[in-house]
């Protein structure tokens, strides 16, 4: 974990609390605010969190493209931000959103719809 915040417009009081991964990111869980569906997990750096808190649209850092990514900018499937909470360890974000259309790039409502694994417990 690194505790050195990168340059950003994030409120310094929030930046001081964040515990980032070695690459300066924090996982952000996106949840549909009314149904409770867990939609996806993305990653935010300080600036992405700042934009999420101040623009009303969920903004991630794309690790594959190495750029900011306003969810919906290309697909129209925006995530309108309802609330953001930091967890007890200050290393994970929970973002409650109103998801337009599908959250998943496959067209599924959530990124977890197609990935069920087999749970096999003998009398547990």
Token pair recorded at residue 88? 């007890």
Pick one of 8, 14, 24, 77: the residue that binds its own copies (CB under 8 A): 14
- Asked whether position 35 contacts its own copies by CB under 8 A, the answer is yes
Contacts of 122 (CB under 8 A, 6+ apart): none
Closest distance between its own copies and the C-beta of residue 100, in Å? 14
- Minimum distance, C-beta of residue 39 to its own copies, in the bound complex (Å): 10
Q: What is the DSSP string of 3-70?
A: --PPS-SS-HHHHTT--B-TTS-EEEEEEETTT--EEEEEEE-HHHHHHHHHHSB-EEEETTTTEEEE
Q: What is the closest distance, in whole angstroms, from the C-beta atom of residue 103 to its own copies in the complex?
A: 10
What does each C-alpha distance from 23 to 35, 56, 87, 108, 122 come to in angstroms?
A: 32, 25, 19, 29, 40
Residue 30 CB, shortest distance to its own copies, in Å, is: 10
Nearer to its own copies, 6 or 17 (CB): 17
Residue 74 touching its own copies (CB under 8 A): no
Binding site for Mg(2+), by residue number, is: 87, 89, 91
Interface with its own copies (CB under 8 A): 11, 14, 21-22, 27, 29, 31, 35-38, 40-41, 53-57, 80-90, 92, 94, 104-106, 108, 111-121, 124
């Amino acid at each position: 974990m690194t505790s050195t915040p990168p340059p950003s417009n994030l409120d310094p009081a929030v930046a001081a609390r964040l515990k980032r991964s070695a690459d300066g990111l924090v996982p952000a869980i996106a949840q549909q605010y009314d149904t409770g569906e867990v939609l996806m997990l993305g990653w935010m750096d300080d600036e992405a969190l700042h934009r999420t808190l101040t623009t009303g649209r969920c903004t991630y850092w794309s690790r594959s493209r190495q750029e900011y990514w306003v969810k919906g900018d290309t697909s129209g499937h925006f995530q309108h931000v309802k609330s953001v909470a930091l967890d007890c360890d200050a290393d994970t974000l929970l973002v409650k959103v109103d998801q337009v259309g599908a959250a998943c790039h496959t067209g599924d409502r959530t990124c977890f719809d197609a990935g069920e694994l087999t749970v096999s417990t003998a009398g547990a």
